[in-house]
Structure 1
Amino acid sequence: MAPARRLLMLVISAVVCAAVASAPVVATAETAGEDCGKAAWPLASARTRLASPLRTVEAGGRLSLPLEGAVTLALSDRASAALPFQPTRRGRESRAGFVRIAVPPPGGDYQITVSDGAWLDVFADGKPLAPLAFTGVHACPGVRKSLRFRLTAGEVVLVVTDASGAGLAMVIDPVGP
């Protein structure tokens, strides 16, 4: 390679390196080690509400849809949780609880998004409902997973097992068109 051409290549390389080094660093979910954007549907609104639950609901308590914001379900050790239904997964001994939820007519598709890892079962008429869809994110601060269920008008029971903390923050939203 000719000396002039080699010098030109070095100058161009130096300019490119200087430009990259002086460019502002923009933190994104990817660069921050978060995988929030990898969920199957947007969770930003739920994540914001999960950061500030409005109230705590005692295990065995009642909620009515629609909820105005996030709530925290109080949990106890699984042995004393007095769950009304057996969870669909055997799981390990852990924190557990349940809440009865009044679903307004005509019912519909609802999304339950939770702050931390836990097993969620929804029961209607004593039978577990299969989720319509599921998405989970392991490295998204403040949100762990979201499940969608088709709920009929009336009462359903949400059973939480395999949780690690004394409470689980959650939001329950209708799934929009």
Structure 2
Amino acid sequence: MALARRLLMLVIPAFVCAAAAAVPAVAAAEPDGEDCGKAAWPLASARTRLAAPVRTVEVGGRLSLPLEGAVTLALADRASAALPFPPSRQGRESRAGFARIAVPSPGGDYQITVSDGAWLDVFADGRPLAPIAFTGVHACPGVRKSLRFRLPAGEAVLVVTDAAGSGLGMVIDPVGP
């Protein structure tokens, strides 16, 4: 019994020291004021790709999934954006745009992660699709929110409204099993 107590007296302080040493590593990965780790799913990969979009897609442009890296969707004044479908929400900001997305067969669950605040609607076969999941982070540089949609094979249309800037960075990834 004395041997067990001595072992515990050595093991417990070592465990406490190891746990204390791990805390600064976590804090260093996420500077004060950032809430990147508070998202419902990991956004680190999308955040990295959003930092360096590979190309710009004009209003009404076409994308094919899977995407290679991030893209920037150019936005215009809402009045001149010629949106093919009305947004589900009327916002305060006036910038808008849309992109047609070719979804490979058999379709599936996709995650759209965007760099800044904006309202996103996705349409397939002329009907709006409801997101199956959503996460948002207000103080995560380079990422504002991520939505998941079940996209059928064929064409989907992403409509962006209520944006403030001239472009919106986005990453569209398949959701793993």
**TM-score over 0.5 for the alignment?**
yes
Secondary structure of 1:62 counterpart: strand
Counterparts of 1:130-149 in structure 2, within 5 Å, are 130-149=130-149
Rounded to whole Å, the distance in 2 between the matches of 1:90 and 1:166 is 18
Q: Report Cα offsets for 1:74-101 as digits up to 9, x if no partner.
A: 0001111100000001222410000000
**Number of equivalent positions:** 154
| Structure 1 equivalent of residue 56 of structure 2 | 56
Which structure 1 segments of 5+ residues have no match? 1-23
- Over alpha carbons, which structure has the higher Rg? 1
Q: RMSD in angstroms over aligned alpha carbons?
A: 1.5
Secondary structure of 2:28 counterpart: coil
Q: Could you say which structure has the higher helix fraction?
A: 2
Q: Report Cα offsets for 1:102-130 as digits up to 9, x if no partner.
A: 00000000000000000000000111100
TM-score by length of 1: 0.84
TM-score by length of 2: 0.84
* Deviation of 1:27 (Å): 2.9
User: Which amino acid in 2 is paired with 1:156?
Assistant: A
Q: Report Cα offsets for 1:59-82 as digits up to 9, x if no partner.
A: 000000000100000000111110
Which structure 2 segments of 5+ residues have no match? 1-23
* Deviation of 1:28 (Å): 4.3
| Structure 2 equivalent of residue 74 of structure 1 | 74
| Structure 1 equivalent of residue 83 of structure 2 | 83
| Structure 2 equivalent of residue 176 of structure 1 | 176
User: Which amino acid in 2 is paired with 1:27?
Assistant: A
Q: Which runs of 4+ in 1 moved over 3 A?
A: none
* Deviation of 1:46 (Å): 0.2
Q: Report Cα offsets for 1:13-34 as digits up to 9, x if no partner.
A: xxxxxxxxxxx895342x5210
Rounded to whole Å, the distance in 2 between the matches of 1:47 and 1:134 is 16
